[in-house]
Structure 1
Amino acid sequence: MEGIIAIIPARGRSKGIPRKNIKLLNGKPLISYTIAAAKQSKHIERVIVSTEDTEIKEVSMKYGAEIIDRPEELAQDNSPTLPVLQHTIQTLQNNNEKVKLIVLLQSTAQFQKTEEIDEAIETVLNGKWDSLISLSPVPKHFNPLWQKKINDNGQVLNVSDSESINDDKKSTRRQDLKQTYWKNGQIYIITPETLMEQNSLFGERCTSYIINRNIVNIDTEEDWKQAENLEK
């Protein structure tokens, strides 16, 4: 027994797309895709959905997930993910259940792939890492060194500081730009110690798993339509 669990937070009061966790995406509830990806993992032993919503509970159990009831105070519009995970782990620990690694999967970060989840888990297991985050490469033309901002007076400045746009230090050729990455929300892995003792999703020894494909984070109706097209 590896003691690796997946936690899927699923609040019932989603605003951008009402009831999006159980809304049908090409015929199946959105959350079912994430549950299936986790259930097919060769490392994940338990798939747990944290929710306060009765209908989400029923749908999640139908697709094979366990449920941990989320308190109402952790199911508000401004409720962050960290205390939701801590509540889930504390509930398990109160029942003397051992957890070695926590895999945080968000149902709105479609579409997770089981092989990527397993490779990310193996990255942590085979190294001295206490956390992992999945990333995607930022196209070179969006590199921070090439980004600009406009101040209240209409002057164009570099994003990184208030130096003039003419600052020679910022005149980096495209081929000399270092690769940067953005958080794609697909996979987070955390040790219980990092989560509970350091009060964080990211430890001092955090590594990454790079994903090179189209990623959709579903927050708007436009995102939903894009996800429908990707899944077809």
Structure 2
Amino acid sequence: MDVAIITARAGSTSIPNKNVMEVANRSLVSYPVKAAEEAETISKSYTSTNGDKIADVARKLGSEIIWRPEELWGDGGHGDVIKHATETVDEQVEDLENVVVLLGNTTMVDSDLIDQAVELLHERPEIDSTMTVWEAADDHPIRAMKVNDEGYLTAYDEVSEDAETDRKTYDSAFYYDQGIWAFRKETVQEKSGPGTWWWMGEKCQPIVRTWTTGRDIHNHFNAQLHAFYERNREDLREFEERVVWDEYGGDD
């Protein structure tokens, strides 16, 4: 069985009641819940939350609620939230195989993307997981800076100090785009994933998307970008498939 887990907590410090705010005339959390419900590969969806309003929206769309323990209510510890939810589902069903995790504060996911991720896990038994990412350009980590003790900008690390201005000389760098994590259930126990994403296993296949997609909402400017995306979803998805996915082998 393949399931989707939507993570959406109450108590956001960036925007009050963020996950139930209206974006393009719909509650924000309804977007990933609806995408999971419409995905052909997903047998059941769950929403991990500590908020009654979030639970009400998710439940009305067919998602089962996983109530978080109080120690998982705060900032940080997202991996522990995912591990708790995965283990909870695994106890409830007999044949859990793969899990797709969606953030509750983004509109930029849909059923096709979920199906692509799950099908990739079925087609490639040698991989542990897949995640949606975007490729860095001007925001490449080699170009990163920090403020030193005197208040001045300086290179972030020794690699940045010796870097050229020509981006073509850098190795490609990718960032998770707040879209999809899809993984085999056992990887949440291994803590061997790439960098911060320890629950993803050692062999994580990227699905490369356009820069604007998958972004989660941290402020009202982000919310307006998501409203724009929703109003132009079909055109933007067509562009994404044509220009980006084929280049990285993400779509056949």
TM-score by length of 1: 0.85
Q: What does residue 178 of structure 1 align with?
A: 171
User: What is the root-mean-square deviation of aligned Cα atoms in Å?
Assistant: 2.3
Q: Secondary structure at the match of 1:217?
A: coil
Percentage identity across aligned positions?
26
Name which of structure 1's ranges 180-189 and 95-104 shifts more when overlaid on structure 2: 95-104
Deviations 1:71-91 (A, max 9, x none): 22211x235122222222322
Distance 2:108 2:71 in 1: 29
Judging changes above 3 Å, is the alpha-carbon distance between structure 1 residues 70 and 147 closer, same or farther for their aligned structure 2 residues? closer
Instruction: Note the C-alpha offset of 1:32.
Output: 0.7
Greater C-alpha radius of gyration? 1
Do 1:135 and 1:181's aligned partners in 2 also have CA atoms closer than 8 Å? yes
1:59 aligns with 2:52: no
Distance 2:112 2:103 in 1: 16
1:83 to 72, 80, 83: 80
Distance 2:185 2:112 in 1: 23
Q: What does residue 102 of structure 1 align with?
A: 99
Judging changes above 3 Å, is the alpha-carbon distance between structure 1 residues 151 and 193 closer, same or farther for their aligned structure 2 residues? same
Instruction: Note the C-alpha offset of 1:6.
Output: 0.4
Superposed, 1:194-205 pairs within 5 Å as: 194-198=187-191, 200-205=198-203
Name the structure where helix makes up a greater proportion of residues.
2
Name which of structure 1's ranges 179-188 and 148-157 shifts more when overlaid on structure 2: 148-157
Distance 2:70 2:64 in 1: 19
1:114 to 100, 108, 111: 111
Q: How many residues align structurally?
A: 224
Q: What does residue 204 of structure 2 align with?
A: 206
1:43 aligns with 2:41: yes
Distance 1:212 1:176 in 2: 21
Name which of structure 1's ranges 65-74 and 175-184 shifts more when overlaid on structure 2: 175-184
1:7 aligns with 2:20: no
Distance 2:21 2:179 in 1: 19
Q: Which has the higher contact order (CA 8 A, sep 6+)?
A: 1
Q: Secondary structure at the match of 2:226?
A: helix
1:123 to 120, 124, 149: 120
Matched residue type, 2:37: K
Q: What does residue 160 of structure 1 align with?
A: 157
Name which of structure 1's ranges 85-94 and 144-153 shifts more when overlaid on structure 2: 144-153
Structure 2 stretches of 5 or more lacking a match?
193-197, 232-252
Q: What does residue 216 of structure 2 align with?
A: 217
Name which of structure 1's ranges 199-208 and 180-189 shifts more when overlaid on structure 2: 199-208
Do 1:110 and 1:218's aligned partners in 2 also have CA atoms closer than 8 Å? no
Distance 1:28 1:151 in 2: 44
Instruction: Note the C-alpha offset of 1:150.
Output: 5.2
Matched residue type, 1:222: F
Instruction: Note the C-alpha offset of 1:148.
Output: 4.3
Distance 2:40 2:93 in 1: 24
Instruction: Note the C-alpha offset of 1:214.
Output: 1.7
Do 1:134 and 1:184's aligned partners in 2 also have CA atoms closer than 8 Å? yes
Q: What does residue 238 of structure 2 align with?
A: none
Distance 2:188 2:147 in 1: 38
TM-score by length of 2: 0.79
Deviations 1:48-77 (A, max 9, x none): 0011222221111111211122222211x2
Do 2:8 and 2:19's aligned partners in 1 also have CA atoms closer than 8 Å? yes
Structure 1 stretches of 5 or more lacking a match?
none
